[in-house]
Chains A and B, each alone.
Chain A
Amino acid sequence: MSIAVIKYNAGNIRSVQIALDRLGVSSVVTDDPDIIRSAEKVIFPGVGEASSAMKYLKERKLDELILSLKQPVLGICLGLQLMCSYTEEGNTSCLGIFDNRVIRFPEKDKVPHMGWNSISDLKGPLFESIADDSHVYFVHSYAAEPGVDQIAGTEYIIPFASALQKDNFYATQFHPEKSGDIGQQILKNFMEL
């Protein structure tokens, strides 16, 4: 299977590639439009700052490329946020695949939200055989407001969308590549779409 992991100016991309190695799936980290377009699956990961990431994607026309993809695409963490309509981080317009807005957690508790939290009201093939209230690993200071495309919800200070899906676009706020056996199963489910 050919898997393209989109390369851009965000961190933690290596962890995703290693997680795929663990599943026995080889992948290529690339910003080459032809390789991305022809891949069977595309992963859009990343940890970083939203406005500089959006700027980088636009400069290389990767924004248009992502929107045009027809194969299954999985956004992770910052990837999910960039697939939403807007984020408060740097007051940034994003890709708009999902209508959700991304807001900063109110500082009524520790921010970032870091560690293992549960996901509930799971829907769709990404969560095939995953039990409601399973724990997965999060690290983020901004979160997508709940909305129609939500396929998993989590609560930390506020309720937020921890996974989204619309057509061929999937996204998780948590890190499946770091979420133990549960995360591994979610990645496997994505590979089997």
Chain B
Amino acid sequence: MLTKRIIPCLDIKDGQTVKGVKFEQIRQVGDPVELARLYARSGADELTFLDITATIEDRRTFAELVEKIAHNINIPFTVGGGIKNEDDVARLLDAGADKITVNSAAVRNPSLIDKLAGRFGSQCVVLAVDCKQYDFISRVHLDGGRTPTDRETLLWVKEAVGRGAGEILLTSMDHDGTKDGFALEITKAVSESVPVPVIASGGAGTCEHFVDVFENGKADAALAASIFHFGEIPIPELKKYLNANKIPVRMK
């Protein structure tokens, strides 16, 4: 049986892991290569690295880090943050990344998705969406959440999948950093409206939240950062809990 994936996410700045709480207040949490190895050993199913720096020089440092990570872990990993064009993607895939995420650049220039899927294959193109709820409508934000747009989350996700996105990484800005649980409604709505896998992100605080997002949010995978980085929920413990609650997971 296909299992539900648990994905620790590492935000990278200046070659180090950080975790933004509600996309602000940044705090250091350690060496990404060491963390990656630790997670792979403890049963993470996949890893995601987001480059939250902006300058071209830092981007080169990030590609070097990606190469180090690829040589040190034997599970799939996705990288993203600030990807603007085909060259950015080629560099990261060549460094050994399995998938890349596109976010703001894809909203500003949707044909980027067609180009990336055509050249590198849909399987490595993950659409990252930062969304926020406005009354009854969920809308897309850009630039790490700072720039609101009129785009409706559901419409954008459907369009992007039509253009070749192979997976959706859906972050609810209303839930991110709260530890009050994932955004079940929008996750379920997205998951049921596209044929590709959906990774839920934002709000993980307890093991029960993961059961909820798989059962009620219909997510295929769940991503979290701080609860893993600070050891609040060790991955083996989370998987035991999910297994006991009849959620199919890969046990080490």
Q: Which residues of A approach B to under 8 Å, CB–CB? A: 11-12, 14-15, 18-19, 21-22, 47-49, 107, 110-118, 135, 137, 139-140, 155-156, 175, 177-181, 183-184
Contacts and interface: CB of A to CB of B under 8 A. Distances in A.
B74 A183 contact: yes
Interface stretch (B24-32, B118-126, B148-156, B229-237): B118-126
Given A15-B70, A18-B70, A178 B2 contact: no
B69 to A, nearest CB: 10
B75 A180 contact: yes
B120 A114 contact: no
B221 interface: yes
A40 B89 CA distance: 33
Contacts of A175: 76
Contact of A117 (B1, B76, B221): B1
Given A110-B196, A116-B45, A135-B250, 20 more contacts: A11-B93, A18-B71, A18-B96, A19-B74, A47-B121, A112-B166, A112-B196, A114-B167, A114-B197, A115-B5, A115-B45, A115-B221, A116-B2, A117-B3, A118-B1, A155-B1, A178-B74, A178-B75, A180-B74, A184-B74
Given A18-B71, A156-B2, A180-B74, A114 B96 contact: no
A20 to B, nearest CB: 11
A14 B76 CA distance: 13
Contacts of A180: 40, 74-75
B193 to A, nearest CB: 12
B3 A14 contact: no
A184 B123 CA distance: 22
B98 A12 contact: yes
Contact of B121 (A11, A19, A117, A181): A11
A22 B74 contact: yes
B162 interface: no
B159 interface: no
Contacts of A114: 123, 166-167, 197, 220
Contacts of B220: 110, 114-115
B96 A22 contact: no
Which 5 A-B pairs rank lowest in CB-CB distance, beginning with the nearest? A135-B250, A116-B250, A178-B76, A139-B123, A117-B2
Contacts, number: 82
Interface residues of B, number: 30
The interface centre, meaning the residue of A139, A156, A177 with most chain B CB atoms within 10 A of its CB, is A139
Given A11-B121, A47-B123, A178 B3 contact: no
Given A14-B94, A156-B2, A112 B123 contact: yes
A156 B2 CA distance: 7
10 contacts: A11-B120, A14-B94, A14-B96, A21-B71, A111-B195, A115-B197, A115-B220, A118-B1, A156-B2, A178-B76
B4 to A, nearest CB: 8
A47 B3 CA distance: 22
A23 B4 CA distance: 28
Nearest to A114: B197
A107 B195 contact: yes
B3 A116 contact: yes
Interface in B2-17: 2-5
A15 B197 contact: no
A157 to B, nearest CB: 9
A181 B74 contact: yes
A48 B121 contact: yes
Nearest to B2: A117
A118 B248 CA distance: 11
Contacts of A14: 93-94, 96
Contacts of A12: 98, 124
A19 B120 CA distance: 20
Contacts of A111: 195-196
Contacts of A177: 74
Contacts of B123: 47, 112, 114, 139-140
The interface centre, meaning the residue of A49, A135, A156 with most chain B CB atoms within 10 A of its CB, is A135
